[in-house]
Amino acid sequence: MMTETRQTVDLAAEVLQLETVPQPLIDLRDRPTPDILRVLAIGSPQVVNHFVMTMFQLGYARPEEWSRQLPTVNPGEVMRILTKRVMLSN
């Protein structure tokens, strides 16, 4: 239990460090294709980062694959976007 808590704290610190690195803007105007999935996480910074870390722990996406925190029109609310290529088998 203590090790899991320590890992979560270490991962959260890593995410905060990554967010200080400038990231390119995400252009969502491209043509959608069937193999692109966009996941949008919106909420308080703590909830959004917790979700990002949960997706990492489940092996779905690394924190650096997500956009930096972007403000929304609602005070105290942010969003992060994940764009993934998904291979569908027929």
62-80 confidence digits (pLDDT tens): 999 999 999 999 999 999 9
Tens of pLDDT, residues 8-34:
556 555 655 555 555 555 565 666 566
How many structural domains are present in the chain?
A: 1
CA 78, CA 70: separation in Å to the nearest integer? Answer: 5
The 3-class secondary structure across 14-66, one letter per residue, is HHHHHHCCCCCCCCCCCCCCCCEEEEEEEECHHHHHHHHHHHHHCCCCCHHHE
- The answer to whether residue 90 is domain-embedded is no
pLDDT tens digit string along 29-70?
666 566 888 999 999 999 999 999 999 999 999 999 999 999
Domain that holds residue 32: 2-85
* Residue that the structure tokens 């966009």 belong to: 38
Give the predicted TM-score (pTM) of the model: 0.62
Q: Would you say residue 49 lies in a domain?
A: yes
In terms of Cβ atoms closer than 10 Å to its own Cβ (0-12, 13-18, 19+), residue 43 is middle
39 occurs within a structural domain: yes
20 Cβ neighbours under 8 A, 6+ residues apart: none
For position 86, what pLDDT does the model report?
84
